[in-house]
Amino acid sequence: MDLNELPIPEVKRSIFQRALQALESTGVAFSLGGGLALYYYTGVQRDVHDLDLHLLPRDVEPSLAALREAGFTTWVHLAPWLAQATVDQVQVDLVYGQGSGHASVDQRWFAGPRTHFLGHEVTITAPEEFFWSKSMRYGRYRSDAPDLFSTLVALGDRLDWPHLLDLFDEDWEVLLSHLVVFRYAFPSHAGAIPDEILDNLLERLQASRRSSRPPHPPVWRKGLIDSATDGQYFEERGYIDERRRRWERRLSAELDVLAPLVAQDIHRRDNSGGSHASD
């Protein structure tokens, strides 16, 4: 779909153009996600509230500096995955990790198609990474399942399914759950899911039912799919918070890149009296 056909107000278009120009001046790689990618892949049109850009964690600081130079106010909003910039109440989201905090954006996110948007040649976030990024939003207040289903209707037979399986890795049950509900919601499009993929996932489920024992101490993974949860309740009862464990593992592996972003987030929250995003 042609992104330029979206009914974006002129003021917002101008600010989006300014943001794209600022990032292009740095030479960093980035891709368009959010509602723009959804429209490009599926034709599903939503109000474009902000500009969602995916980029590598190492490129966040130079991107924020360029946006400040262009007149934006910038900050690290949630250290594991999100920085933001705003001017005249128009927002740009710089997304550099999964919303669950357990994985960083990498070069594979930029393997999507190229198109033109507001006079700039841009990359759309690769469809498999786009699907994966939305799949872990499974919460009480927000679920992106409808966007996943629209993507499967539009692209199911063109997705790189082995790559998608690799992305989900140990979270394969989340993928399976989405696919089962998709088959229910869109029975006429059940064939969009290759038989060998569904067979693979169901065989994993059968094997895990037969062989696995409940982990001890107990593990709580709900925080990976729903950030608005009462994790403290479970931690106080001896559960291991899998979201926290994976964030700490990622932070250790990428300390030189993520530590400055964590420091900025902590500084902002301490000044505003808020809680820390990594807590």
Which CATH number do you get for residue 78? 3.30.460.40
The predicted model gives 181-203 an average pLDDT of 97
Handedness of CA 212, 214, 219, 221 (dihedral sign): positive
**Phi, psi for 114 (deg, rounded to 5):** -100, 145
Mean pLDDT of the chain: 93
The residue ranking higher by pLDDT, 58 or 270, is 58
Whole-angstrom distance, CA of residue 58 vs CA of residue 37: 23
Q: How confident is the model at residue 142 (pLDDT cuts 50, 70, 90)?
A: confident
> Over 80: is that where the pLDDT of 177 sits?
yes
Residue-wise pLDDT for 211-260, tens only, equals 867 888 889 898 898 876 667 778 788 888 899 999 999 999 999 999 99
> Over 70: is that where the pLDDT of 92 sits?
yes
Would you say residue 279 lies in a domain? no
Question: Do 187 and 198 contact (CB within 8 A), yes or no?
Answer: no
Residue-wise pLDDT for 112-122, tens only, equals 999 999 999 99
Would you say residue 229 lies in a domain? yes
Strands 73-78 vs 82-87: parallel, antiparallel or unpaired: antiparallel
Handedness of CA 20, 23, 28, 32 (dihedral sign): negative
Domain count, the chain: 1
Question: Which residue is associated with the tokens 């357990």?
Answer: 102
The reply to whether omega before 217 is within 30° of 0 (cis) is yes
Helix (H) or strand (E) run with residue 36 in it: helix 34-42
Whole-angstrom distance, CA of residue 102 vs CA of residue 143: 18
> Over 50: is that where the pLDDT of 131 sits?
yes
Q: Could you list the residue range(s) of the whole structural domain that residue 97 is in? A: 3-269
Q: How confident is the model at residue 67 (pLDDT cuts 50, 70, 90)?
A: very high
Would you say residue 274 lies in a domain? no
Whole-angstrom distance, CA of residue 253 vs CA of residue 163: 23
Q: Tokens representing 207?
A: 């094997």
Would you say residue 275 lies in a domain? no
Whole-angstrom distance, CA of residue 81 vs CA of residue 254: 13
Q: Tokens representing 66?
A: 């360029």
Would you say residue 145 lies in a domain? yes
106 contacts: CB under 8 Å, gap ≥ 6: 56
User: So what's the pLDDT on residue 214?
Assistant: 80
Q: What angle do CA 149, 154, 158 make, to 5 degrees?
A: 110
Coil, strand, or helix at residue 76?
Answer: strand
User: So what's the pLDDT on residue 277?
Assistant: 47
Residue-wise pLDDT for 27-63, tens only, equals 999 999 999 999 999 999 988 999 999 999 999 999 9
> Over 60: is that where the pLDDT of 276 sits?
no
Question: Do 109 and 54 contact (CB within 8 A), yes or no?
Answer: yes
Q: How confident is the model at residue 108 (pLDDT cuts 50, 70, 90)?
A: very high
Would you say residue 102 lies in a domain? yes
User: So what's the pLDDT on residue 273?
Assistant: 65
Would you say residue 278 lies in a domain? no
Handedness of CA 15, 19, 274, 241 (dihedral sign): positive
Whole-angstrom distance, CA of residue 131 vs CA of residue 192: 14
Q: How confident is the model at residue 278 (pLDDT cuts 50, 70, 90)?
A: very low
Q: How confident is the model at residue 279 (pLDDT cuts 50, 70, 90)?
A: very low
Of the candidate ranges 46-55, 76-85, 164-173, 224-233, the one whose mean pLDDT is the lowest: 224-233
> Over 70: is that where the pLDDT of 158 sits?
yes
Would you say residue 202 lies in a domain? yes
Whole-angstrom distance, CA of residue 78 vs CA of residue 261: 9
